[in-house]
């Protein structure tokens, strides 16, 4: 049903495969940056001891970024169903889809977690899968741009690389908190206090 709807939309808009690839890659790279910026905003809210609930302004912006990646994944599904795609391009489209699924499932889990437990920190059972999904989406966008024959889209490649590196660094930082939280939380306690307090 979803693919039929997407096919009707793409046929009505006469969106060619190359344009769909451009839309997918731009959304898959831009969405994670929106999520990262909102995540930093959320951390600043934690510093200011703002009330924590799921539908806070930073969370709405985070899930706007997730929605961008979800749209990219719908177009990816449409392309994979309608065309015979192989190699790095196929892998990129698959990564965008998998990353989007992880983000959506983690988002619902985060909503339930906030309803049950209230405030959370950088480390939670929902944040790290969400971050892994973001990294996979950014990597998928990078693969799509790298495999593209469109020279205009290739100019977006450095932006895709920086996005992937930023998202991987953010995930690495948060995962490192699991293993070295006592040492790492001392200098950053004021910045990410809630992230350290739950350890």
Q: pLDDT tens-digit profile of 59-75?
A: 788 889 989 999 999 99
**According to the model, what pLDDT value does residue 69 have?**
93
Rounded Cα–Cα distance for residues 3 and 23 (Å):
17
- Cα 192 from chain centroid? 20
Q: pLDDT tens-digit profile of 91-118?
A: 999 999 999 999 888 877 766 765 555 5
**According to the model, what pLDDT value does residue 18 have?**
78
Global pTM? Answer: 0.76
Rounded Cα–Cα distance for residues 196 and 147 (Å):
41
Successive 10-residue mean pLDDT values, the chain, 199 residues: 63 67 89 87 68 70 90 90 83 92 82 60 66 91 87 84 88 72 48 44
């Amino acid at each position: 049903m979803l693919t039929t709807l997407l096919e009707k939309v793409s046929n009505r808009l006469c969106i060619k495969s190359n344009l769909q690839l451009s839309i997918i890659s731009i959304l898959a790279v831009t969405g994670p940056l929106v999520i990262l910026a909102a995540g930093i905003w959320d951390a600043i809210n934690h510093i200011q001891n703002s009330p924590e609930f799921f539908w806070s302004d930073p969370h709405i912006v985070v899930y706007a970024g997730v929605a961008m990646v979800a749209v990219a994944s719908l177009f990816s599904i449409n392309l994979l169903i309608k065309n015979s795609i192989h190699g790095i391009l196929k892998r990129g489209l698959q990564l965008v889809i998998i990353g989007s699924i992880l983000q959506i499932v983690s988002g619902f889990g985060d909503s339930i977690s906030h309803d049950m437990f209230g405030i959370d920190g950088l480390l939670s059972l929902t944040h790290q899968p969400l971050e892994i999904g973001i990294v996979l989406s950014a990597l998928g966008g990078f693969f799509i741009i790298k495999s593209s024959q469109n020279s205009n889209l290739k100019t977006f490649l450095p932006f895709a690389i920086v996005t992937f590196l930023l998202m991987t660094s953010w995930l690495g930082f948060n995962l490192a908190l699991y293993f070295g939280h006592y040492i790492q939380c001392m200098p950053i306690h004021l910045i990410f206090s809630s992230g350290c307090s739950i350890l």
